[in-house]
A and B are shown apart, each in its own frame.
Chain A
Amino acid sequence: MTVALLIILLVVLGSGILGVVAAGRGEMNLERWSVGGRRFGVILVWLLMAGEFYTTFTFLGASGWAYSRGAPAFYILAYGAIGYIVSFFILPPAWRMAKQHGLHTQPDFFLARYGSPMLAGLVAVVGVISIVPYLQLQLTGLGLIVEIASAGAVTSTVAITVAFGLTTAFVYTSGLKGIAWVAIVKDLMMIVAVVVIGIGLPAMYFGGIGGMLAELLRQHPSHLTFPGGTRTMGTGWVMSTIVLTGCGYYCWPHAFASAFSAKDERTIRRNAVIMPLYQLPVLLVFFVGFTALLVLPGLKNPDTALLALVTRSYPAWFSGFVGAAGAVTAMVPASVLLLSSATLIAKNVYRPLRRDPVDDAHLMRASRVVVMAVALIAFVLTLWAPRELVNLLIFGYDGISQFFPGIVLGLFVRRATALPVALGLVTGEAVVISLIWTSRDPFMGMNAGFVGLAANVTVAALAMALGKRIEN
């Protein structure tokens, strides 16, 4: 066993124990497990939200795209800012409604607002389907970390299996509160790792960030403007992707529901104001990707660029630290995703489908079964259908961003009803799936998810206008 691998395993086990301890004793019910009892203050909510968005995607995916794509990766820096601006306006009224009706999940919101269990069920199913690639992303990243840290001694299959086991065990025992506390450890490690390598690596090889960028522009003059190292990701693709992912940022079921755990509206607005700053370290991650392109050109899998360069440049203990930061950065979001999808299926699909009443203890057991099932699906896909990290996330966004019209109409347009929203949602998903299926993403230079979103909005608006005419 290598030193790096040992450090990673110790940190992962330590986080697991911290999660269990932080969850505390006392009876676990669905309210406590899924929204932490709705008592989190500004700091814990901030950490939890950051914990959800700072994932393996940021760490390995962003550096991988900076390495292979160049400028199109810049969308990753921009979309969070747009997402927080959107959240400033949509989360406080959503929180108010959640508090008023005692909501736990995103489909609960659709049910309370539109009164249609069918629409709520549809939202739950689409949400879970979109979560699967996001979960797959975390498992893939975790697998890469363990594989590289062990210098090939542990195969990726074994690494992913271990990752899967640890994550499910963690969710089973601790729930949301445990995850929030581990998120603190994760964020600290992540920030330290990113700052040290983001500044250190360009300095080590090129005397500094300026020197590295100058060398990059000399060797690859078109890498830092759109479409960078790609043919299809021009300015139109980046613009449409920023709009899509910015609108979708808080459409993730777990992100939308995480706002419910806040103590008050002001906590949420203040969060939105400061959160864009949290996005800035992504710049340093890009610098690592650029340095790797110059020092280690021709890597077979760009997602390994950061880890490969770190392993080559630093002593084993530090590589272990970076690997451990990456591992926890995969585990925390994976747990949040699992917890969220389990609650969705148990509460918004399973319970309405059963004729007999289902009590909370029963629902809790059902949630735990779903955790296992969803984790297994992601696990199988990770092993048999591997994909690039950023593409996995964009697939997820293609799906969940289609909730955006329903959320905005639900909050701000009183006469919006279930049918137009459902028609728009189904149209949007159908457009996205058919474009991706026929390999037409990007479509006319735009992100397929954005095309779906445009179709979604158009259909919902037309249906609303028609409904009004029929009424009159």
Chain B
Amino acid sequence: MRPAYALIPAAVPVVALVAGLPFANRLEPMVLGMPFLLAWILGWVAATPAFLAVAYTIHRKASAGPGAGGGR
């Protein structure tokens, strides 16, 4: 696996929060008492760390090996 594959999970919330907006611009159905548009944005922002955690794992595995990482 190459480090660049980390882009794939990271791109998902970007697509949802930008390209998804024309489809999410509505009040119904309400989610947890919130209009759909607000719930959509909130949900994707809250889910972003999960997608980035996958990207982090992919990146770390792909760049593992001697001299990589630069960590402690």
Which A positions have Cβ atoms within 8 angstroms of B?
71, 74, 77-78, 80-82, 84-85, 88-89, 96, 209-210, 213-214, 217, 221, 224-226, 235, 238-239, 242-243, 246, 264-266, 269-270, 272-274, 276-277, 279-280, 283, 286
Q: Is B18 an interface residue (CB 8 A)?
A: yes
Q: Is the CB of B41 within 8 A of A78?
A: yes
CB contacts (< 8 Å) of B33 on chain A: these are 209-210, 213-214
Which residues of B are found within 8 Å of A81, using beta-carbon distances? Answer: 13, 17, 44-45, 48
| Interface SS of chain A | helix
Option from B35, B49, B53, B69 in Cβ contact (under 8 Å) with A224: B35
A242-B45 Cα distance, complex, nearest whole Å: 13
On whether A238 and B21 interact (CB within 8 A), knowing A81-B44, A210-B33, A277-B49, the answer reads yes
> Given A85-B14, A221-B27, A276-B52, list of 4 further CB < 8 A pairs?
A77-B45, A85-B13, A273-B56, A280-B46
* Residue of B whose beta carbon sits closest to that of A226: B25
Residue B67 at the A interface, CB < 8 A? no
Residues in chain B near residue A266, CB distance under 8 A: 69-72
Of chain B, the residue at the smallest CB distance from A96 is B70
Please classify the interface of chain B as helix (H, G, I), strand (E, B), loop, or mixed, using the class held by over half of its residues.
helix
Q: In the complex, A270 Cα to B42 Cα: how many Å?
A: 21
Taking CB atoms, residues of chain B closer than 8 Å to A89 are 6-7, 10
Whether A85 pairs with B41 at a CB distance below 8 angstroms is no
A-B contact pairs, 9 of them (CB 8 A): A78-B45, A81-B44, A85-B48, A242-B18, A243-B18, A269-B56, A269-B59, A279-B45, A283-B42
Name A274's closest neighbour in chain B (CB-CB): B49
Instruction: Kindly list chain A residues whose C-beta atoms are within 8 Å of the C-beta of B25.
Output: 71, 225-226, 235
| Chain B nearest Cβ from A327, distance in angstroms | 27
How many angstroms from the CA of A447 to the CA of B34 in the assembled complex? 27
Contact between chains at B17 and A242 (CB < 8 Å): yes
Query: Which residues does chain B contribute within 8 Å of A238, judged by CB atoms?
Result: 21
Complex Cα gap A221–B27 (Å)? 9
- The answer to whether B48 touches A74 (Cβ under 8 A) is no
Least CB distance, B42 to chain A, in whole angstroms: 6
Report yes or no: A88 in contact with B17, Cβ–Cβ below 8 A.
no
A209 CA to B35 CA, complexed, in Å? 12
Report the separation of the CA atoms of residues A81 and B41 in the bound assembly, to the nearest whole angstrom. Answer: 10
Q: With an 8 A cutoff between CB atoms, is B38 at the interface?
A: yes
B residues near A (Cβ < 8 Å) are 6-7, 10, 13-14, 17-19, 21-22, 25-27, 33-35, 37-38, 41-42, 44-46, 48-49, 51-53, 55-56, 59, 69-72
Q: Are A273 and B45 in contact (CB under 8 A)?
A: no
- A335 CA / B14 CA spacing, docked (Å): 31
**When A209-B33, A238-B21, A270-B56 are in contact, do A264 and B71 touch as well, CB less than 8 Å?**
yes
- What distance in Å separates the Cβ of A81 from its nearest Cβ neighbour in chain B? 4
B35: chain A residues within 8 A (beta carbon): 213, 217, 224-225
Specify which of A77, A84, A225, A273 is in contact with B53 (CB 8 Å cutoff). A273
Contact for B45 among A210, A224, A280, CB less than 8 A: A280
**A225 CB contacts on chain B under 8 angstroms:** 25-27, 35, 37
Q: Which of A85, A209, A221, A235 contacts B52 (CB 8 A)?
A: A85
Partner of A264, one of B21, B42, B55, B72: B72
Query: Do the beta carbons of A280 and B37 come within 8 Å of each other?
Result: no
Complex Cα gap A225–B22 (Å): 10
Chain A residues near B14 (CB-CB < 8 A): 82, 85, 246
> Chain B residues near A84 (CB, 8 Å)?
48, 52
* B63 CB → nearest A CB, Å: 10
Q: Which of B14, B35, B44, B52 has the largest count of A CB atoms less than 10 A from its CB? A: B52
- Inside 8 A of B34's CB, which chain A residues have their CB? 213
Question: Within the complex, what minimum Cβ distance (angstroms) separates B35 from chain A?
Answer: 5
Closest 10 CB pairs of A and B: A210-B33, A276-B48, A273-B52, A266-B71, A81-B48, A81-B45, A224-B35, A78-B17, A265-B70, A85-B10
**Residue on A nearest B3 in the bound complex, by CB:** A89
Q: Which residues of B contact A273 (CB under 8 A)?
A: 49, 52-53, 56
CA distance A88 to B13 in the complex (A): 13
Q: How far is the CA of A284 from the CA of B42 in the complex (A)?
A: 11
Give every chain B residue within 8 A of A224 (Cβ-Cβ): 27, 35, 37-38
| Chain B CB within 10 A, most for which of A74, A81, A269 | A81
With a cutoff of 8 Å between Cβ atoms, the chain A residues found around residue B72 in the complex are 264, 266
Cα of A40 to Cα of B17 in the assembled complex, Å: 32
**A221 contact set on B, CB distance < 8 A:** 27
Does A77 lie within 8 Å of B21, measured CB to CB? no
